[in-house]
Amino acid sequence: MLIVIVNYSTPRLVIDCLRSLAPQITPATRVIITDNASPDDSVPQIQSAIAANHWSFAALMPLPKNGGFAYGNNAAIRPLLAANQLPPYILLLNPDTILLPNALAALTTFMDQNPQAAIAGSRLENPDATPQISAFRFPGILSEFESGFRLGLLTRLLSPIILAPPVQDVPHKTGWVAGASFLVRREVFEKIGLLDEAYFMYYEEVDFCLRAARAGFATWYVPQSRVIHLVGQASGINSAAVRPKRTPAYVFQSRRRYFVKNHGRLYAFFADAACLAAFSIYRLRRRLQRKPDTDPPHALADFARHSVCLHPRS
């Protein structure tokens, strides 16, 4: 197995992640930490930790720029793919994760026993063991409207197509799984290629799973593989403890690219229009009901600014 961890200025998270990985490493497992040109002392910190802990399974690969999540993962996978030396399984792992006991074995055992599964995702958890939703359906016009409208009755009516169905405790086939713990068979990379580096961050795993599905590969959710995910500590934009920071432009740009690339500009236009209309209604309803504002600052304006509605040629 090859495990790839992409770091950008989060050395302590990487070291904690490696510490949780160490007891689960087998002789056939290799870990590559790619560093996306971190401006801090990530490289010497991680190198020192690898040496001090005798983590011979781990290697650090400094990169010349911060090209994003897909870029950082591809840098480790590309040369092995080109040389036909990829191992049977490749795990993309966030630095802000802590693997609970047996997390790796649960994933690989499931894949060994289920050859129809080509991609598998772990059950992501908060530190208190409550689950995070990490198995999703592919987004579409109706699911975009539902996610923006945020009304329980509508969610129940659209339950068969909503983006984030309730967490299940049994393995099941799904559209896509969160990239925080994302296991891929070698054959998937061999057939459909690497992650799309035009996504800086977010939607790259959605795009990859959709490309895989169109090529005949199935994605599964494996809750027996339990991984603590410290949400937002790697990206710095999501946290359950405080109101979110303003959403970076690249999130909206990635979303726009996903819809335009995979469904065309007309479909993307209607997906944006549906979400904008629903979100506008929700924002008005929230004000009238005097509910607290939990959205990132300028969320509606930023969404509109980066939508296909205002960028029809993007």
CA dist list (Å): 79 to 27, 43, 74, 83, 166: 21, 21, 9, 6, 39
For 200, counting Cβ atoms within 10 Å of its Cβ (0-12 exposed, 13-18 middle, 19+ buried), the class is buried
Buried b (16+ CB within 10 A) or exposed e, 58-72: bebbbbeebbbbbbb
| Contact by Cβ (8 Å): 62, 39 | no
| Contact by Cβ (8 Å): 201, 210 | no
For 295, counting Cβ atoms within 10 Å of its Cβ (0-12 exposed, 13-18 middle, 19+ buried), the class is middle
Query: What domains are defined for the chain?
Result: 2-132+167-229 (3.90.550.60), 249-305 (no CATH)
- 3-state SS, residue 164: coil
Residue whose structure tokens are 């819809």: 259
Residue whose structure tokens are 């990635």: 254
CA dist list (Å): 309 to 62, 198, 265, 273, 274: 39, 21, 10, 7, 11
Candidates 181, 218, 200, 208; CA nearest to 90 is 181
pLDDT in tens, the chain (314 residues): 999 999 999 999 999 999 999 999 999 999 999 999 999 999 999 999 999 999 999 999 999 999 999 999 999 999 999 999 999 999 999 999 999 999 999 999 999 999 999 999 999 999 999 999 999 999 999 999 999 999 988 889 888 989 999 999 999 999 999 999 999 999 999 999 999 999 999 999 999 999 999 999 999 999 999 999 998 665 555 554 456 789 999 999 999 999 999 999 999 999 999 999 999 999 999 999 999 999 999 999 999 999 987 766 65
Candidates 265, 257, 252, 253; CA nearest to 299 is 252
